[in-house]
């Protein structure tokens, strides 16, 4: 089944303890992206990647790192999490094609709480 | 990428057509309009997209104005399960270059 898989689904951690949220897609998509969603603020893009070894900042990159060493994986790294990073995170991917397949495919989300 | 503006909320009676507007007045010639919806806190789902012609699929219709500065998503016979947040975004394709910026979306409530 074609899908974007995020892990974990829920995570509670403490301030300053490094964590990684994994994202993997099995559709051979070139484009991958991370979003965070907070109440009343919609979806805000953190980082995106147009292909392997190519990453760029979205609208809210501060406090986050990403890497794209393989096409299928795009982990989100919080080196020193803070309470303001408590949020619902989504990973998404899409192919570089012109048609419906160009749509973003989203994972099921990771709910992160930083205390 | 161009920004989009949507009304924060709308109501619709079950069985009626739901018409959701989106303003994208700064859209570029190579940007497509995409619509997604998000039910509760699930990942957003693709609905439809278009460049300049009206489009229809099994889920919805998309009407894009001739100047491409606005569009309307039409759910022809809304059901209670269509209650969701609907997002309109613009993206450059085919290379999916750059940011994919979502606005705050429109919360559609379908009422019995």
pLDDT digits (tens, 9 = 90+) for B38-57: 998 899 999 999 989 899 99
pLDDT digits (tens, 9 = 90+) for A37-83: 998 778 899 999 988 999 999 989 999 999 999 999 999 999 999 99
Percent of chain B surpassing pLDDT 70: 93
Model confidence at B60: pLDDT above 90:
yes
The pLDDT of residue A70: 97
With beta carbons under 8 A apart, name residues in chain B contacting A37: 41
B 47-106 → A contacts, CB under 8 A? 49, 87, 91, 93-105
Distance from B112 to chain A by nearest Cα, in Å? Answer: 26
Under the banding of pLDDT at 50, 70 and 90, the label for residue A103 is: confident
Distance from B102 to chain A by nearest Cα, in Å? Answer: 6
| Distance of alpha carbon A92 from alpha carbon A84, whole angstroms | 22
pLDDT digits (tens, 9 = 90+) for B3-43: 899 999 999 999 999 999 999 998 888 888 999 999 988 99
Model confidence at B92: pLDDT above 80:
no
The pLDDT of residue B84: 97
Under the banding of pLDDT at 50, 70 and 90, the label for residue B93 is: low
The pLDDT of residue A92: 94
Sign of CA dihedral B64, B51, B2, B43: positive
Q: Do A43 and B87 touch (CB under 8 A)?
A: yes
Q: Do B100 and A4 touch (CB under 8 A)?
A: no
* Burial class of residue A48 (count of CB atoms within 10 Å of its CB; 0-12, 13-18, 19+): buried
Count other C-beta atoms under 10 Å from residue B104's C-beta: 16
| Distance of alpha carbon B104 from alpha carbon A40, whole angstroms | 7
| Cα→Cα distances A108→A3, A61, A111, Å | 10, 21, 10
Under the banding of pLDDT at 50, 70 and 90, the label for residue B97 is: low
Q: Do A45 and B102 touch (CB under 8 A)?
A: yes
Contact B4, B23 (CB under 8 A): yes
A 5-64 → B contacts, CB under 8 A? 30-31, 33, 35, 37, 40-45, 48, 50, 56, 58-59
Contact B32, B93 (CB under 8 A): yes
């Amino acid at each position: 089944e074609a899908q974007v898989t995020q892990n974990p689904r829920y995570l509670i951690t403490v301030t300053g303890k490094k964590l990684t949220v994994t994202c993997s897609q099995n559709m051979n998509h070139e484009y991958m992206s991370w979003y965070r969603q907070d109440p009343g603020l919609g979806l805000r893009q953190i980082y995106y990647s147009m292909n392997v070894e190519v990453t760029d900042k979205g609208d809210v990159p501060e406090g986050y790192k990403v890497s794209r060493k393989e096409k299928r994986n795009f982990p989100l790294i919080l080196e020193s999490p803070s309470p303001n990073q408590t949020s619902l995170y989504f990973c998404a991917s899409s192919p570089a094609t012109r048609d419906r397949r160009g749509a973003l495919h989203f994972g099921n989300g990771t709910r992160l709480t930083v205390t | 990428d161009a920004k989009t503006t949507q009304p924060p909320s709308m109501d619709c009676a079950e069985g009626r057509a739901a018409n959701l507007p989106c303003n994208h007045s700064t859209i570029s010639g190579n940007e497509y309009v995409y619509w997604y919806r998000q039910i509760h806190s699930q990942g957003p789902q693709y609905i439809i997209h278009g460049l300049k012609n009206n489009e229809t699929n099994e889920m919805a219709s998309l009407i894009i104005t001739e100047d491409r500065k606005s569009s309307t998503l039409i759910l022809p016979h809304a059901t209670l399960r269509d209650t969701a947040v609907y997002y309109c975004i613009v993206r450059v394709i085919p290379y999916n270059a750059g940011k994919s910026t979502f606005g705050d979306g429109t919360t559609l409530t379908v009422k019995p």
